[in-house]
Amino acid sequence: MKAVILEEANVFRVDEKADPTPSENEALVRVRHTGICATDVAMIRGLSPLVIAPITPGHEWVGTIEEVPKDSEYAPGEWVTMYPTKGCEVCAACLDERPHHCNSFRVTGVHQDGGSFAEYLAVPLDQLIKLPETLHNIHGALAEPATVGVHANLQGGMAAGKRVAVIGAGTIGSMIGQVARGWGAADVVMVDRMPARQKLAADLGFEQFVLVGDGDEQENLLAYDGEFDIIFDNVCVEQTLELAANSLKSGGTMVTLAFPHDGQKLVVPYMTAYRRELHIVFSRNYARGDWDHTFDLMSKGAIDTERMISGDYPLENFVSAMDDLRDKPDEHVKVVIST
């Protein structure tokens, strides 16, 4: 089969790779659509400390069952995706169905080979997820990042009527905002430093936007009817953490999502956080059960996948898709590879 092979940072190509051979507890899946994630870009461009190589990356996918053991609940032709996180299966977190908290967890296509920038995958049956009919197409590839947004909202205690701000309005930020709106947020204000993100936010129906860079972020954010119940921070540098802490109501919740780099410490204005009894919660990946919320929201049309998909390239053109992502950051949100 054809697959992307990442040999080492910045050395990657589409090439022939041996077809996967499924074991008796696995299905052979024909990959249809895979989104390129910021994690993939970090791996490929040598910006990720986690990368192993050689590897075929890709974890935001939908596909169809090609072959499956006879007694399984799946049938050939059925559309599926995968819960890509696998833990040790014996620790407390794994037994509690939180493998993303397992000390030795692995995400297929990130920490282990077998990612979906390929024509075929062998997927353990217990990691398969059936897709609702509305996602039997390219839009299904956005279910995985949408689930990151679902998980962040669950972590933040999102409920109807809450006032929400989202710092970092790219793919994940846009998902977080749309989930919050889908769950009845009173207001959603998006915050970013890229003007192109303001256009994206407006197209997604988020007219309230703060452009970072002029030093008036705090004032501009609070100008939208005052303090917030929940602020999601996808950036997590000192400036954004401070903006979040200073813009929350007392008892409000800050949800941090950015991957920490280089021994980073979380620096928040302690007196503000202390005086207002703020909650600081962390959000990483998602639990398996979070997907049900995603399917519900996406089936209701709460996530505008049409606007978010900015490119659809065949697998053979993976390298030019990556170049376009790098060279035209203003034009792209989610680039999808179709096979």
Q: Which residues bind Zn ion (CB under 5 A)?
A: 37, 39, 87-88, 91, 94, 102
Nearer to Zn ion, 94 or 154 (CB): 94
Nearer to Zn ion, 39 or 283 (CB): 39
Q: How far is the CB of 213 from Zn ion (least distance, A)?
A: 27
Nearer to Zn ion, 88 or 319 (CB): 88
Q: How far is the CB of 107 from Zn ion (least distance, A)?
A: 9
Q: How far is the CB of 78 from Zn ion (least distance, A)?
A: 23
Q: How far is the CB of 252 from Zn ion (least distance, A)?
A: 28
Nearer to Zn ion, 86 or 163 (CB): 86
DSSP three-state, residue 285: coil
For 325, the token pair is 């992502």
In the chain, the amino acid numbered 79 is W
| Residues 137, 54: Cα–Cα separation, whole Å | 29
Q: How far is the CB of 244 from Zn ion (least distance, A)?
A: 23
DSSP output for 238-255:
HHHHHHHHHTEEEEEEEE
H-only helix segments in the chain: 38-44, 92-95, 143-155, 171-182, 195-203, 217-222, 238-246, 270-275, 290-299, 305-308, 318-327
Nearer to Zn ion, 247 or 285 (CB): 285
DSSP output for 101-130:
G-TT-EEBTTTBS--SSBSEEEEEGGGEEE
Nearer to Zn ion, 104 or 239 (CB): 104
| Residues 167, 152: Cα–Cα separation, whole Å | 13
Q: How far is the CB of 207 from Zn ion (least distance, A)?
A: 28
Q: Smallest Cα–Cα separation from 284: which of 331, 332, 240, 236?
A: 236
